[in-house]
Structure formats: structure tokens, C-alpha cells
Amino acid sequence: MRPFEDVDVLDLTQSIAGPVATQFLGTMGANVVKVEPPEGDAFRGLLDGAMFASVNLSQKRSVCLDLKTEEGQQAAQDLAAEADVVIESFRPGVLEQFDLDYDAVAEDNEDVVYLSLTGFGQEGPYSDWPAYDPVIQAMSGLMSTIGYQDRPPVRIGASVIDWGTGTTAAFLVASALAERELTGEGDLIDVNLFEVAVAWMGYWIAHYTGTGEVAERQGQGFAGLAPNEVFHAAEDEPFYICVVNDDLYERLCTALDRPDLLEDDRYESNAKRWDNKDELIADLQAEFAEYERDDLCELLAEAGVPAGPVRTVDELVEDDPHVAAREILTDSHNVRRDTPVKTAAAPFRTSEGRPDLDDRPPEKGEHTRAVLEELGYDEAAISRMLAAADLDGDV
């Protein structure tokens, strides 16, 4: 499934959210040209190169341009004039000084699909604020629901808002391209991390506006539901169980061959189980400690009870049979360390199987010469721009 093989994408993004969007489009066949400043994408060095290695596959080509020079600006404008899609992640108004904002690009490229990906959107009190994923987790209310009530809020340990926003952006670009096929018209799309995160808080917002109750930090579980948290099997191996209704509780007790827990008046409804949560957790934990974790999770899964081991990253990569069977990981390359690594493959399959990703992201500016030659630049101009971008002439 490569519907975008004839689609040229100009990637003016850094960090994670924008590269996630262009990686998805590249996975669908798009020709992605990533423009980087002379110093490279700001996230090339983070986590010692691991972050960049995970979101810049799909055969992206890297061009290094200094937008502070006239020739660098002109080259970027020429790329924008030829692009079907432009995706940028600058703060609002910044690209106007380089004539790379939507109005400037659309003047010569009327049917361009132009997506601006920012922290807070193109206008509003926060529009000029800098933003990274953890800041958005905090400001959207998400962080206030994570952790324990007697401790400070904590962040989710992965860039979930970046990934969610990047995925949303790719979907919006795909939709705009489909619309362009029908109307012949491009579009200007404004998507931002803050609104995506607020959307994820939708049911807590609905709960507050309907009841006046403010969501508290949920700890291991979810307010009002029991059993719904981390337990420990034999040898203290952690696993999570998620029982959200009476039917699932009945399945749990049946699978454990514990009719006494099912018949106990204290546990006959979810409301009563929540009121008597401490006693229920103690009863269940004593039972779970008699099982090996994998055997227990398999038993519960066969009974239709949602449960699974709490994996560490090494367990996920080295030991998880589902990851291995479905080939959920793929090869990449940490260009900072110059070492092969594994990362997540495209998270879906089609009738033709899982899409292939290339096995390494581009070096900074690796394709500058080739792309400029395609634009018709002569050797003298290319050499000047390579020098301005502090690149070796052989790039």
C-alpha cells in the first residue's frame, strides 16, 4: 500500500511530532525531503541518537540549508514550489521572514497541502509559547491524572503527545490529498500538541462538566473500578489486571476457581468492590501469588479477562513471543553512534503485509547535492550552499 508514490513532501520539522508525520507519509510511499539547519535536527543527539533513529526512517532524504542566506532561502522556496505537501513545525510567524509561510508558498503553488504543526496553534494566548511533550502533558490536565494522590504528578515516560499529534497530522494530510483529488484545491491545516492532548482528556472533561468532580491521580488503577491495577504473581513478577464490570469479575473468579469471591456480599457489584477494595486486593493478591505470571496471564486471557505482564523494555525486545511472531520491531541505525539498533516497525499491516521501512535515517544533509541537482542548481551554487551549511563538498 503505497498510494503516495507520486507525492512530494517538504519536511520543515524537527523533534518528534513532525518527523512522525512525515515518516508515516513516507511509509505510504511519499518522497520526503527533510530540510535541516546547519547544526542538524535538534533531536539528532537526544538519548544519544536513539530518538532520531526511531522517527526518521521511510527513506527520508536530508538536505542541509542555511535559511539565513539568500541562496538557502531560495532553495527552500524552490522545494516548496514543487511540493505537493509542506509540513512545518516553526513557531507562528517565523517562516514569514523566509517567504515559506502558507500565503507565500501558495502564491506559486496554489494546490499545495500545507500543514503547520505547533505547540498551541496559530493564534491564542499561548501561540508563541515554546512547547515540548512533557509541558503539554502538564498543561492539558493529563499529568494531573498520573501518579499517586499523595505524591506529585508525573509524566508519561514516552513522547505520547508527539506521537499522537504526528499521527493526527499524517491523517489530516492524507485526507487533504484525497480532497484535492476531488476538488483540485489544496488546504492549510493547523494542528497542535495542546489540542490533541486536550482531546485525549475528553472523557475526564465530560465527567467534570457533568458532575463537577475533578479527576484525581489514578495511581496504578482507575477511579471507581476494582480490581483494576498491578498485582504480583509468584517471585513478585508484576502484571496488570483490568476488570471493569461484573461480567469480567465473574469470569475472573471462575478462572481462579474461587466461587467464594464471587458469592461474597462485599464484592457482589463494582460499587461494593470499590468500597471494599483493600480487602478484595488482599484476597486476590494471596491467590495470584500461587501462580507463575505467564501461566496466570494465559489462564485469564483464555477466560476473557484483560490481563498482561508488566514488561520492561528488555523483556519486550528479548522475550515477548508476540513481538517476535508478528515482527513488531525493525532494523534502524543510530547515526550518532554509528551502530545498528532496533526500533518499532510500522504499527499496522495491510493485505500485502507490514510496510518495509529503510534500515537507517539519513545523515545530516546527506542528500543535499542530489536534491539541489534535481532542482537544476549548478555546481558553483551547490558548492556555496554546502559551505554555508558547513557540509563536506562530497555530500
Q: Mapping DSSP to helix (H, G, I), strand (E, B) and coil, where does residue 65 land?
A: coil
390: phi > 0 → left, psi -120 to 50 → alpha, else beta; which? left
**Long-range residue pairs from 298-304, CB within 8 A, at least 24 positions apart, any chain:** 299/255, 300/241, 300/252, 300/255, 302/255, 303/251, 303/252, 303/254, 303/255, 304/248, 304/251
Whether omega before 37 lies within 30 degrees of 0, making that bond cis, reads: no
Note whether 241 and 305 are within 8 A (CB).
yes
Closest CA to 257 of 295, 304, 306, 303: 303
**Quick one: which H or E segment has residue 33?**
strand 31-36
The residue behind cell 466461587 is 259
* CA 284 from centroid of its chain's CA atoms: 35
Q: Mapping DSSP to helix (H, G, I), strand (E, B) and coil, where does residue 391 land?
A: coil
Are β-strands 329-334 and 339-344 bridged in parallel, bridged antiparallel, or unpaired? Answer: antiparallel
Name the DSSP letter for residue 32. Answer: E
Alpha-carbon gap, residue 395 to 393, rounded angstroms: 6
Q: Mapping DSSP to helix (H, G, I), strand (E, B) and coil, where does residue 229 land?
A: strand
Helix 379-388 with 70-82: angle, nearest 10 deg: 110
CB atoms under 10 Å from CB of 17, counted, come to 32
Tell me if residue 66 is catalytic.
Answer: no
The residue behind cell 519486550 is 316
Instruction: Report angle CA 20, 125, 96 to the nearest 5 degrees.
Output: 60
Q: Which of 162, 257, 260, 390 is catalytic?
A: 162
Q: Mapping DSSP to helix (H, G, I), strand (E, B) and coil, where does residue 381 land?
A: helix
58: phi > 0 → left, psi -120 to 50 → alpha, else beta; which? left
Catalytic positions, written as ranges: 162
